[in-house]
């Protein structure tokens, strides 16, 4: 082939290649323009998470105790604004209702896609105007403020409610125990990615899945009873120079906790500044030697085993067991040689109590303590519960049987004591303690309701009745006179327990307590009062009056009216 022929051939080859290239460019530019534009966008789009609003925690009457700070954001679906009249109306109303310039609003509503932000976290007035306008394609999205959990009642029930972290996750208390209900389900937005390859919420194009708010948790707590318990606890801690204390109020009929007060309390919003040991819910986590309040369960075991309230036992000033000396404490009256079971409890005789325990035997006594729930967790719906300390009866010598009967050598939590007393108040039937009544969705529909649950019957109905009579005698004639409530028949047991620190009894340090029932003729509440390291320290003196004030106000709140005859008698005795 001549040079001229090769040139002509190359010319036509290049011309053909250029023609193919031009036709391909025309196809990409005009025919397949939308396809390649979508592919280009897809390479710059990702998925961003739209946070869900955390559920609320409420009291039994739906009073809000914990909520999340959230703001309304205005969003639009441009595909629903294809009609020019609707689009112009939306632009007009949004421009008038918000501080966003008209051109910025047009940029969003005229942009392709199914989702776009008009304005995020607007004020209430702007949100109300948009809601009332009811514009097609325009809607409100509630956005939580991360790390901004709000507790409307301040420090109230702080240990029970718990705290949340910076990412809104529950750290302790109800916030942790019911995290799976409170957390909600985040939504998903398709959005443009930033320079670092992260999709953000700032420039979304479509709502793939809306965020679903968390469930609301409705507690058994009564906000007003909780307030009274905390107020009276703080008053007594201050008056007796104590380091702290605990009050538990429980519904005697079903085990629902009506109040759980712990002192000192803390601001739940500022969890980072609060030490973990202060945040700890000591009513379920910290077992302690209960002292004389534990005599209640020895007496109940004896009654259930055939002992009569009038049966007498040696109760003199001292006794020797396995070479150890047991003596009566000086917060009761000193006994004579023999005292009835009823008076042993009324005047809190250690010697008499020990002899009752030895008479029924360690196996019978231990069996009843297990039935009352000691030595194991109650199963309350809170994280971190302790089962306390109760050694196996096979390891008990006589001295162990004796000392455990008056609350030494055994440890239990406040919730265990309250739960066990609830069984005595409820005809011998023990109910599972609970702090949650129900779980609802954000619209108030019940997701789950928790019904009362029977755990067992440690004593008979007859033994329960006899025990309530014995407890009433404590308040009428014994160490619990300061716990009496005008107009009501109440019963209970005082306790003065030496504090154990580092495995030994700390000299001069005590826990003053009172464990009571009101009213004994038709029990509605069980109340535990525990004051830590008070001065002076006698249970009847320090804790008894707190029971009086808390029980009176709680019964009033529950609609339990005083007996007019009793009220007249009690007021006249008090000089009124």
Give CA separation, 230 vs 233, 239, 251, 428, 531, in Å.
5, 14, 18, 29, 12
Same domain, 178 and 252: no
What are the pLDDT digits (tens) for 351-366? 999 999 999 999 999 9
Q: Which of 253-267, 268-282, 500-514 is predicted most confidently?
A: 253-267
In whole angstroms, what is the distance from residue 251 CA to residue 455 CA? 15
The confidence band for 39, taking pLDDT boundaries of 50, 70 and 90, is very low
Same domain, 256 and 172: no
Displacement of CA 245 from its chain's centroid (Å): 18
- Bridge partners, residue 323, by sequence: none
Predicted local confidence at residue 362, as pLDDT:
98
The total number of structural domains that make up the chain: 2
User: DSSP secondary-structure letter at 376?
Assistant: S
Are 420 and 546 found together in one domain? yes
Region 506-520: mean pLDDT is 95
Q: Pairing relation of β-strands 491-501 and 504-518?
A: antiparallel
In this prediction, residue 332 has a pLDDT band, given cuts at 50, 70 and 90, of very low
pLDDT at position 237 is: 97
Residue 275 is assigned to a structural domain of this protein: no
Backbone φ and ψ for 256, nearest 5 degrees, come out as: -70, 135
The pLDDT value given to residue 29:
54
pLDDT on residue 190: 74
Query: What is the distance in angstroms between the CA of the first residue and the CA of the last residue of the chain?
Result: 135
CATH no. for residue 386?
3.40.710.10
Residue 46 is predicted with a pLDDT of: 64
Residue 523, pLDDT above cutoff 90: yes
Residue 495, both tokens: 């306790």
Based on the domain organization, do 339 and 259 belong to the same domain? yes
Q: Is the dihedral of CA 376, 379, 380, 381 positive or negative?
A: positive
121, part of any domain: yes
Domain coverage including residue 312 = 223-269+282-573
Tell whether 184 and 309 lie within a shared domain: no
Residues 526 and 405 in one domain: yes
Q: Residue 196: CB partners within 8 Å, gap ≥ 6? A: none
Question: Is residue 509 one of the residues assigned to a domain?
Answer: yes
Q: Are residues 95 and 230 in the same domain?
A: no
Let me know: does 438 contact 381? Beta carbons within 8 Å. Answer: no
Which residues, at least 6 apart from 572, have a Cβ–Cβ distance to it below 8 Å? none
Catalytic pick among 97, 176, 177, 292:
292
Distances (CA, A) of 204 to 44, 75, 115, 213, 297: 12, 10, 6, 20, 65
Residue 123 sits in the same domain as residue 238: no
| 182 and 227 belong to one structural domain | no
> Residue 4 domain-assigned?
no
Shared-domain flag, residues 161 and 294: no
pLDDT (0 to 100) of residue 467:
99
Instruction: Write down the pTM of the prediction.
Output: 0.84
* pLDDT greater than 60 at residue 428: yes
- The whole-angstrom separation of Cα 418 and Cα 255 is 9
Residue 19 predicted with pLDDT over 50: yes
Tokens of 131: 């809601």
CB-neighbour burial class of residue 314 (10 A; exposed 0-12, middle 13-18, buried 19+): middle
Using the structure block, give the residue that is written with the tokens 């030494």.
Answer: 408
pLDDT of residue 87: 82
* pLDDT above 80: residue 380: yes
| Mean pLDDT, range 205-234, rounded to an integer | 93
Is 325 within a domain?
yes
Instruction: Answer whether residue 296 shows pLDDT above 80.
Output: yes
Does residue 21 sit within a domain?
no
Say if residue 383 is in the same domain as residue 472: yes
Both tokens of 481, joined, read 């006179």
CATH of the domain at 184: 3.90.1310.10
Q: How far is CA 163 from CA 17, 334, 498, 530, 537, in A?
A: 71, 49, 33, 24, 33
Q: Is 292 a catalytic residue?
A: yes
Query: How many other C-beta atoms can be found within 10 angstroms of the C-beta atom of residue 267?
Result: 13
| pLDDT(36) > 80 | no
109 with 254, same domain: the answer is no
CA distance 68 to 181: 14
Beta strands in 107-215 (DSSP E): 116-122, 138-150, 163-164, 170-172, 187-193, 199-209
Candidate from 29-38, 103-112, 371-380, 545-554 with smallest mean pLDDT: 29-38
Q: Whole-number mean pLDDT of the chain? A: 87
């Amino acid at each position: 082939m001549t040079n001229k022929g090769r040139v002509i051939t190359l010319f036509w080859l290049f011309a053909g290649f250029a023609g193919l290239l031009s036709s391909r460019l025309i196809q990409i530019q005009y025919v397949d323009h939308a396809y390649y534009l979508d592919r280009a966008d897809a390479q710059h789009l990702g998925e961003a998470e739209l946070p869900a609003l955390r559920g609320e925690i409420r009291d039994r009457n739906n009073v809000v105790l914990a909520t999340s700070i959230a703001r309304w954001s205005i969003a639009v679906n441009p595909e629903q604004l294809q009609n020019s009249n609707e689009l112009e109306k939306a632009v007009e109303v949004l421009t008038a209702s918000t501080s966003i310039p008209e051109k910025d609003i047009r940029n969003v509503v005229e942009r392709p896609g199914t989702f776009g932000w008009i304005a995020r976290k607007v004020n209430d007035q702007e949100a109300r105007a948009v809601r009332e306008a009811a514009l097609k394609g325009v809607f409100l999205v509630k956005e939580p403020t991360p790390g901004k959990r709000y507790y409307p009642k301040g420090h109230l029930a702080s240990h029970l409610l718990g705290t949340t972290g910076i990412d809104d996750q529950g750290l302790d208390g109800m916030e942790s125990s019911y995290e799976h209900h409170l957390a909600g389900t985040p939504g998903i937005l398709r959005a443009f990615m930033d320079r670092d390859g992260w999709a953000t919420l700032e420039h979304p194009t479509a709502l793939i899945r809306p965020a679903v708010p968390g469930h609301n948790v409705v507690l058994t707590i009564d906000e007003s009873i909780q307030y009274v318990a905390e107020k009276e606890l703080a008053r007594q801690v201050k008056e007796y120079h104590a380091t702290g204390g605990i009050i538990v109020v429980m519904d005697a009929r079903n085990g629902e906790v009506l109040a759980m007060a712990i002192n000192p309390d803390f601001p739940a919003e500022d969890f980072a500044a609060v030490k973990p040991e202060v945040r700890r819910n000591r009513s379920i986590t910290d077992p302690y030697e209960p002292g004389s309040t534990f005599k209640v369960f020895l007496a109940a075991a004896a009654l259930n085993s055939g002992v009569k309230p009038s049966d007498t036992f040696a109760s003199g000033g001292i006794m020797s067991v396995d070479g150890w000396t047991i003596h009566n404490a000086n917060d009761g009256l000193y006994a004579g040689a023999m005292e009835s079971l009823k008076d042993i409890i009324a005047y809190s005789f250690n010697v008499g109590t020990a002899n009752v325990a030895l008479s029924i035997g360690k196996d019978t006594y231990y069996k009843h303590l297990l039935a009352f729930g000691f030595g194991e967790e109650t199963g309350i719906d809170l994280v971190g519960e302790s089962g306390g300390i109760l050694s196996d009866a096979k390891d008990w010598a006589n001295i162990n049987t004796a000392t455990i009967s008056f609350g030494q050598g055994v440890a239990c939590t406040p919730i265990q004591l309250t739960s066990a007393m609830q069984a005595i108040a409820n005809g011998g039937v023990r109910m599972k303690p609970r702090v949650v009544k129900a779980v609802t969705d954000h619209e108030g529909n019940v997701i789950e309701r928790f019904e009362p649950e029977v755990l067992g019957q440690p004593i008979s109905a007859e033994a329960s009745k006899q025990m309530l009579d014995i407890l009433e005698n404590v308040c009428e004639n014994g160490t619990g006179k300061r716990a009496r409530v005008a107009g009501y028949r109440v019963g209970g047991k005082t306790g003065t327990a030496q504090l154990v620190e580092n495995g030994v009894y700390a000299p001069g340090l005590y826990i003053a307590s009172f464990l009571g029932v009101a009213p004994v003729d038709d029990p509605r509440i069980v109340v535990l009062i525990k004051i830590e390291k008070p001065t002076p320290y006698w249970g009847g003196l320090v804790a008894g009056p707190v029971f009086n004030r808390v029980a009176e106000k709680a019964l009033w709140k529950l609609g339990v009216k005083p007996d007019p005859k009793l009220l007249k008698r009690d007021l006249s005795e008090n000089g009124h």
